[in-house]
Every structure is written in C-alpha cells, then in structure tokens.
Amino acid sequence: MACCLAAWLGPSALAVPPPNDTCAGAEIIPTAGPFPFYSSVVDVKDATITNDPPVPSCRSVSVTRSVWYKFIAPSTRLYTISAS
C-alpha cells in the first residue's frame, strides 16, 4: 500500500525541503566574507509553502515557495544582494 501511495503522490511528494526552507533555518551569509559569497545551490521546487512571507502590496502574484538567508551588516555601507 505504501508503494502505491508514493507512486500516486509523485516524486515531489518524497522530496526533502532545503535546510533554509524556514526563517529559523536561514543560511548565514558570513559578515567577514569572502565576497562575493556564493551560497549553496538550492532548488526551490522542493521548498514548502509553510510560513512563507506575505505577498508585497506592489506584487499581484503570490509567492508560493521561499528559501531564507541571514546577513547582519558589520557596518553602514552599501551592500548588493543578487539572486540568479
């Protein structure tokens, strides 16, 4: 029965969410560098929709999956964050 259920739910039902799927598990971007800092590659299709941030008022399409990062700026200066 479990085998049939797994096949019915499809492969994504068995996927493991990334470690930084929640704010509590945010990947730390080190303040001392090295810069540019390259985070681990995360496939957001395995991320859950639990505790996702609310949709910003400037956006009409809802955000259904998210991954989290944390950076605490060591000083006041310009920082550029890029996701691609």
Q: Is the pTM of this model over 0.85?
A: no
- Specify the 3-state DSSP secondary structure of 69: strand
**pLDDT tens-place string over residues 52-66:** 666 667 777 666 788
In which domain, by residue range, is 55 found? 16-84
Question: How many domains does the chain contain in total?
Answer: 1
Model pLDDT for residues 13-54, shown as the tens digit of each residue = 567 889 888 888 888 988 887 777 888 788 888 888 776 666
Answer whether residue 7 is part of any domain: no
Q: Is 61 among the domain residues?
A: yes
Rg (CA), the chain: 17
Contacts of 44 (CB under 8 A, 6+ apart): 18, 65, 66, 67
d(CA 1, CA 14): 15
- Report yes or no on 22 lying in a domain: yes
Average pLDDT over residues 63-76: 85
**CA distance linking residue 13 with residue 28, whole number of Å:** 28
Three-state secondary-structure class, residue 4: helix
Task: Determine, yes or no, domain membership for 3.
Answer: no
